Amino acid sequence: MARGRMLSTSISLSEQMADLASDTHRLLATWMLAHLDATGRCTGSPRQLCALVTPLLPVDPGGWQAALDDMARGGLVRCYQDADGQPVVQWPRFAEHQTGLRPDREAPSKFGEEAGSTPPQRAVSDAVIYFLQAGENGPVKIGVTVDLERRITQLQTGCSAPLRVLGTIPGGRTEEAAIHRRLASFAMEGEWLRPDPSVFSHVEDLLSGRVRTSQDVSARARAGALDFPSLLLASPDPDLSAQLVALWPELRRDVDGLLSEWTSAYPGLDYVQLAKEARAKARAGGTKVDRPAALLGRWYQRAWQEKRQATDTAHMEAHQKRKREQEAERRLAEQLAGSKDARPIGADISRLLAVVKGTT
């Protein structure tokens, strides 16, 4: 076995790691990584883990067993017995974070495949995307967890304002990342967003089903229940794909996947026209575009944000106009009723009614 393993920076953003019950469990999980073989396995015996991973720390077998149970509940590891009856801990996504892993240059694993029963684990399908707000007017957090109650408890310890749940939807990291891309202009620190009307509008759309995540679309597609395809992450239009490739031949290999992502994150845009504008600007500036997908992603994101901002502005103006009309109606009613607090706003009733109707 190698003398150590790589520790990816993504561990700092791992919800599964953050959802562990204590810092002790997070420390044990992190130190265990260094002792995994090329298949991402190590012994699952609490006594052996004491000797192997924490020989100089006061962690007893009971502490290790509690940590393993916690990791398994959150889906961080899988615990089982192999054909020889050995307890085994398996890290399912180990190879993804080990750049340059060469199993052929390491000794074969001492641990076999699962042969016995597996302890109860939280299924991946239990993951939800949650929407929280700090207080009545504070920022909004969007994240993923398999244990919402525990996650709220963890977040509350570092937040002075009471956290309230705006809602949850089924989804995982992919869907959450798409939501954050749509709301990138409102990003604060980490997964927190400014409490802007656009943020609440989009959250409301997600919770009500007016906009759906790719996970929800996949599930509904399997059930044959796609009832409003204009808002879904559907298969890309072949004609649209061909037009984009004609403009940017470099997109040929990945155009369908990119287009599915773009139409999901930034729906309702004129993708071809925006691609033409992006190409024209790049050529006018003499800029060589090495990554057209990244360039188009930025163009689509900016166009989507401008579209949403225009919509929000129109909604705000309509709301303010309605408030002015309501105030004028209230004052008219008070004047006609002879209220002593009423302030005359016109010399005659006809002019007053014209004000109410917004014609003057």
What is the rounded CA–CA span in Å between residue 300 and residue 42? Answer: 46
Query: For the chain, what is the mean pLDDT?
Result: 76
Encoding tokens for residue 242? Answer: 């061909």
Q: pTM, whole model, 2 decimals?
A: 0.35
Residue 284's pLDDT is 86
Residue 255 CA to residue 245 CA, distance in Å, equals 7
89-101 pLDDT per residue, tens: 999 878 777 766 7
> CA 38 to CA 52: how far, in whole Å?
17
Q: Which of 30-34, 71-75, 270-274, 304-308 has the highest mean pLDDT?
A: 30-34
pLDDT band for position 254 (50/70/90)? low
More confident call, 161 vs 230: 161
Amino acid at 4: G
What is the distance of C-alpha 215 from the center of its chain? 12
CA pair distance 146, 125, nearest whole angstrom: 9
In this structure, the number of other CB atoms found within 10 A of the CB of residue 207 comes to: 14
